[in-house]
Amino acid sequence: MAEFTHFNEEGRAKMVDVSDKPETARTALAQSSITVSEEIYQKITNHEMKKGDVLAVAQVAAVMAAKKTWDIIPMCHPIPLTGVNVSFSWEPIQENQYRLHIAASVKTKGSTGVEMEALTAASVCALTVYDMCKAVDKGMIIGPTYLVEKTGGKNGDFKRDEKI
């Protein structure tokens, strides 16, 4: 089991010790999306959703999720985040359907990366949109959710080449 860093000598899961790793600037960008009906699109963009400003609430939920990733993903370290940003864009995809694109970027200066924080932020953002709109239509579709790029750390940078 020596080649697997997340397992101890007994083959059981463990949190990796990062105390000897140098602190470096690290970033991650993750994306998700949610496909909604035209009715939901209109209500969100015209600020007519009964639960309030959907994108404002989803953005705050994403930031909160990034900050609490270590609370819900068992082997994640608590990380002092130096920045979290969430942006949105709309795309009409077919008659009566729109896709909300969610981009979550996370930064830190530390000894472990922030990919999970960015992925968690993007995921929770999409889930929050669903929660706030489900009374109108439960047929929304979330995903895909994926890492776009990351920088820093001993494994180096990553940038997804293909468009998803």
Residue 116 is labelled as binding a ligand: yes
Residue 77 is labelled as binding a ligand: yes
Instruction: Give the active site residues.
Output: 131
Residue 64 is labelled as binding a ligand: no
Which helix or strand (DSSP H or E) is residue 72 part of? helix 69-72
Among 26, 32, 21, smallest CA distance to 58 is for 32
Alpha-carbon distances, residue 140 vs 99, 129, 132 (angstroms): 10, 10, 11
Binding-site annotation, residues: 75-77, 116-117
Binding-site annotation, residues for substrate: 75-77, 116-117
